[in-house]
Amino acid sequence: MFKLPKLSLVTVLLAAVMMITMETTFIQASHHHHKMDSPEPVDEWFEKLSLAKPQKTKLHVYIHDLLFGKNQSIVPVARANGTSTSPTEFGLINVVDDPLTLGPDLNSTRVGRVEGVYVSASQEVASILVAVNFVFTDGKYKGSTLSVLGRIPKFDKNREFPVLGGSGFFRLAQGVVTAAVLPTDKEGNHAVECQFKLVHY
């Protein structure tokens, strides 16, 4: 078992959130979903924003939490001095890079990744602070992102998170995503069914 660095919890968390924010800012913002070579498409979109009508989008995708095996997608990177004796694993920080697919099977059509951090942030209840970006790399929303921040009660099957923003197709996105944990497979990994209800411009 490798040794985890004894870094300040606040320092690591702030650095992770800053990295996520920077990634959301610089990832592709064009509605045509090509690589953004200049800020002009965003400038043009902003000038027309007062005339734009809000769009509603429903989105149904699956996250794959790979906790075990060679393609592990959730990795612990830091813990507090008291994490090992805490009943809630308080102070544990995991970095996440989960596959994102259209179906519940890991081998179904891949549309992106879910990148961010999971932080055990409660001393009383087993719960996790979630700060992630849904990064779409293929399909209709290629080049777009959605940013989600919320709390996971660790043993609840059904969860709800606010959507704080987005880029590309999902500029100025606001909304809600509900998440349902599916049964674990024989290796101990599981998928999470995510249903977004979004308003964007």
The angle subtended at Cα 178 by Cα 96 and Cα 124, nearest 5°, is 65
Instruction: Say which CATH topology domain 9-200 has.
Output: AOC barrel-like (2.40.480)
Residues forming beta bridges with residue 94, ordered by sequence position: 76, 118
> Residue 182 and residue 130: Cα distance in Å, rounded?
18
Name the residue ranges covered by the structural domains of the chain: 9-200
Burial class (CB in 10 A: 0-12, 13-18, 19+), 175: buried
Q: Amino acid identity of 21?
A: T
One pLDDT digit (tens) per residue for the chain, 201 residues: 434 445 554 454 555 544 544 444 444 334 444 456 678 888 888 888 887 889 999 999 999 999 998 899 999 999 999 999 999 999 999 999 999 999 999 999 999 999 999 999 999 999 999 999 999 999 999 999 999 999 988 888 899 999 999 999 999 999 999 999 999 998 889 999 999 999 999
DSSP per residue over 92-127, as a string?
-EEEEEEEEESSSSTTS-EEEEEEEEEEE--SSS-E
Q: What is the pLDDT of residue 187?
A: 87
